[in-house]
A and B are shown apart, each in its own frame.
Chain A
Amino acid sequence: MTTGRPKQNREAIFLFLPALLPILLFSVYPLLRGLALGFTNARAGLHVDTHFIGFGNFSKLLHNDLFWSSFKIGLIWTLSVTILQFVAALGLALLLNTNIRFRGVARTLALIPWAMPPVVVAIMWRLLLHPTNGPVNEILQNLHLTDHPINFLGDFSTALPAVIVVGIWVGMPMTTVTLLAGLQGIDRTLYEAAAVDGASAWRQFWNITLPQLRTVIVAITSLDMIWNFNSFGLVYVLTAGGPGGKTMLPMLFAYNEAFRYGNFGMAAAMGDVMVVIIIVFLAFYLRNRLRSEA
């Protein structure tokens, strides 16, 4: 086996060749260049004298109110969507793992939102939440839960909760299916043994299901946090960050800085700050993964 190593390396490099140039040029280089750009005064348009300015962009960010609010909104959005969708998905996965009717329908339905174009999801929810034509307002009024139509996406107090609900709707399927795969991997004899010992369903859930799912749970929630923290298209089409910046996620803030105001350096600095947070989430994921492989 060891004697084959150098030859294997050579063959592997040969098979990598067609991919190497595009990956280096359009992925690795932009990744590194992007990280460095936050420390420069780069601007859109003709690049006149882009140079290193140290932490200039970062100190400007720290004095920008919109940065802090987008940051706070980003964390609220990330944590609420991830946690709520996880709880809902775990419930759904447990249900779909029993011998219940409609299992097939529920499973198929659970996947469609995930594959729909995010722009279409946003349009669909704008139709649903529309103050005068939307069915959600219609239903709430018929149930006498409100006496006037609510402009969910346009009102200061309801906009963020509304986009969070849509975020849950989009993210739940993936989480459900992953948890379901995890549930199906649990050894059934553990439950049989527990049942013989007289453990209640609740105890079985706490002492068998959750510990057995641990790796899957940490993996999917840390990845969900990263994806949610990075999300852009859905909220861009739902509210574009409005009303009054109430749904301005970090990516929307960075997009505006870069492509509305032309502040490439500033936007990249925002991206660098995001990377730091992502590294924290990623650390959980990697530690968990290494432990499960050991």
Chain B
Amino acid sequence: MRTRPATRAAQYVAVVCYLIFLGFPLLWLISSSLKSPQEFASIDPSFLPKHPDFSNFTDALEEQGLVRSMLNSLQISVASTVLVLIVSLPVAYALARFRSRLRPITNGWILVSQVFPVILIVIPLFMILRPLHLTNTIPGVVIVYTVWSMPFALWMLQGYVAAVPRELEEAASVDGASRVRTIVSIVMPLLRPGLIATAMFTFISAWNEFFFALVLLQDPQLKTLPLVLARFVGAEGQVQFGPLAAASVLATVPSLVFFAFLQRRLTSGLLSGAVKG
């Protein structure tokens, strides 16, 4: 279709506005992370750092609480991702392959758990975890993250399983392979891209999560990265902008890696599923 030059120009203006609105905050964060304290102190903030250096990053990493919180976040995210995959895969398989009564029930649960106000969940969780001595512990948070990432993981995995051709499984069962055997040696290898996508999504959700961690973790030694970052800003006045920006950039790295890997698949697969359901 031919577009008039005036329309074309308006389109480009609009795109540039959007790019600035979406991109400028990110660029400002990155450029702030490379600025010296003197530059922050100057009344005339410049967009680009005058003498970019990485000292904010080293400063941030020397902050003991920050490194520890990163390790906590890493542990929690890895553990809950592994658990989510182990528990979800059989369920996702059953949901995609069998017309059982469990399917509508599970899909109902998936929807409800996505829209329920978390305040209602966190208080009873707190009350269940306390007698088990799991409040204020890493395993407690791992359990909570595992169960609360499952709905979305199931949603994603269901779609990936459905995309594996049934004929392959039928052929295997004709050859006398059991159901478990078929899942492990036929379905799983074909699911690898889907499993990786789901794993990354689960990892990122756990890495970013704030509310459950805020309520469940009191011990400073156990706090996750988002909690420590949030506390950084809380104590304003003595806040060091440079290291704070650097730490924020570091906290975003996993998400960026995630996108580098998944950009294409995420935009098409995951989100069209969100609408079709």
Which applies to chain B's interface (DSSP): helix, strand, loop or mixed? helix
Which residues of A have CB within 8 Å of B88? 19
**B124 pairs with A33, CB closer than 8 A:** yes
**B128 pairs with A255, CB closer than 8 A:** no
Chain B, Cβ-Cβ closest to A230: B117
**A98 pairs with B11, CB closer than 8 A:** yes
**B204 pairs with A115, CB closer than 8 A:** yes
Does A106 lie at the interface of the complex (its beta carbon under 8 Å from any beta carbon of B)? yes
Task: Point out the residue from A118, A185, A232 that lies within 8 Å of B118, measured CB to CB.
Answer: A232
**A181 pairs with B275, CB closer than 8 A:** yes
Does A23 lie at the interface of the complex (its beta carbon under 8 Å from any beta carbon of B)? yes
Which residues of B have CB within 8 Å of A271? 117, 119-120
Does A34 lie at the interface of the complex (its beta carbon under 8 Å from any beta carbon of B)? yes
**B123 pairs with A268, CB closer than 8 A:** yes
Which parts of B209-226 form the interface with A (CB within 8 Å)? 210-211, 214-215, 225-226
Which parts of B93-151 form the interface with A (CB within 8 Å)? 93-94, 98-103, 109, 111-113, 115-125, 127-128, 143-144, 146-148, 150
Determine how close the nearest CB of chain A comes to the CB of B241; give it in whole angstroms: 7
Report the tally of A-B residue pairs with Cβ distances under 8 A: 271
Q: Which candidate, B59-67, B190-198, B258-266, is the interface stretch facing chain A?
A: B258-266
Which parts of A166-207 form the interface with B (CB within 8 Å)? 169, 172-174, 177-178, 180-182, 185, 195
Given the known inter-chain contacts A119-B210, A237-B230, please indicate yes or no for A100 contacting B119, CB distance below 8 A.
Answer: no
Q: How far is the CA of A100 from the CA of B7 in the complex (A)?
A: 12
Does A211 lie at the interface of the complex (its beta carbon under 8 Å from any beta carbon of B)? no
Determine how close the nearest CB of chain B comes to the CB of A153; give it in whole angstroms: 11
Which residues of B have CB within 8 Å of A158? none
Which applies to chain A's interface (DSSP): helix, strand, loop or mixed? helix
Does A60 lie at the interface of the complex (its beta carbon under 8 Å from any beta carbon of B)? no
New contact pairs (10) apart from A19-B90, A122-B233, CB-CB < 8 Å = A12-B102, A12-B103, A30-B128, A42-B123, A112-B26, A123-B229, A125-B25, A233-B210, A236-B230, A267-B123
**A30 pairs with B119, CB closer than 8 A:** no
Which residues of B have CB within 8 Å of A223? 115, 274
**B113 pairs with A31, CB closer than 8 A:** yes
Does B267 lie at the interface of the complex (its beta carbon under 8 Å from any beta carbon of A)? yes
Q: How far is the CA of A117 from the CA of B258 in the complex (A)?
A: 13
**A106 pairs with B204, CB closer than 8 A:** no
Does B71 lie at the interface of the complex (its beta carbon under 8 Å from any beta carbon of A)? no
Chain A, Cβ-Cβ closest to B95: A12
Does A55 lie at the interface of the complex (its beta carbon under 8 Å from any beta carbon of B)? no
Which residues of B have CB within 8 Å of A254? 117, 119
Which residues of A have CB within 8 Å of B11? 95, 98, 100
**A181 pairs with B268, CB closer than 8 A:** yes
Which residues of B have CB within 8 Å of A135? 28, 45, 47
Which parts of A18-44 form the interface with B (CB within 8 Å)? 18-19, 22-23, 25-31, 33-35, 37-38, 42
**B15 pairs with A127, CB closer than 8 A:** no
Which residues of B have CB within 8 Å of A110? 22
Does B163 lie at the interface of the complex (its beta carbon under 8 Å from any beta carbon of A)? no
Chain A CB within 10 Å — which of B115, B214, B229 has the most?
Answer: B115
Report, nearest first, the 10 A-B pairs whose CB atoms are least far apart.
A34-B120, A12-B100, A271-B120, A233-B210, A30-B124, A33-B124, A15-B90, A15-B94, A115-B255, A117-B208
